[in-house]
Amino acid sequence: MKINTINKKEIEKFSNMASEWWNPEGKFKSLHKFNPIRIKYIRDNTVKHFKIKSQKQPLKNLSILDIGCGGGLLSEPMRKLGASVTGIDASKTNIDIANIHSKKSKLKINYICASPESLKINQKFDIILNMEIVEHVEDVNYFINKSSEFLKKDGLMYVATLNKTLKSYLFAIIGAEYILRWLPIDTHQWDKFIEPSKLIEYGKNNSLKLEKLDGMVFNPIIDEWKLSADNSVNYIIQFKKI
């Protein structure tokens, strides 16, 4: 078993783009477009799971660990929804950017430069976010294993990633990187994409029960991402710790 999940080339790649995190027209433009559907999905399913009554800050009293938080694009909205948030990333540059931006936004978020296997805290969380991160790590099963150690029983883990299909190669790499230039070339490596069935298997290996599996597709007419039954490119899984 590998002693860490860090892919140094991936960390270096995202560290070099770190200054772009909060630029909606920059190298993370596609992630800014993607963010609303991610936030809604997490909020709505969390509210349903924990039987939360509607309120201004529905995630109040819940704790979230955002793994591979980058510059904080998800950590900040989760904090605004009321959750106490810890964001970790193996890139110190990303963590520095996240810290600076959260202070400007006057949001209290605990950012730590760490990977799941190197994180030295005793806390367990209600929710763990592994969003657009598993396709950039070494040994996904081990990564899920170390992540799940920080999840409370009956807590939720959300994992969003890319399916390993011909369609995902054509859309997420050829289309998004080379033709439309939504992403820098070499943002993704197709051989690192993972089928839902394999991710579900890794979940079972680590006491994570599949609750939901949804596809996400981009609608160019309205310029928005939507949930879909089609998980052949982008998909999101909701696990429950048992």
Structural domains of the chain, with CATH:
8-241 (3.40.50.150)
Query: How far apart, in whole angstroms, are the C-alpha atoms of residue 59 and residue 104?
Result: 22
Sign of CA dihedral 202, 204, 209, 213: positive
Q: The pTM is what?
A: 0.92
pLDDT digit string, tens, across residues 107-151: 999 999 999 999 999 999 999 999 999 999 999 999 999 999 999
pLDDT tens, residue by residue, 180-236: 677 777 787 888 899 999 999 999 999 999 999 999 998 888 889 999 999 999 999
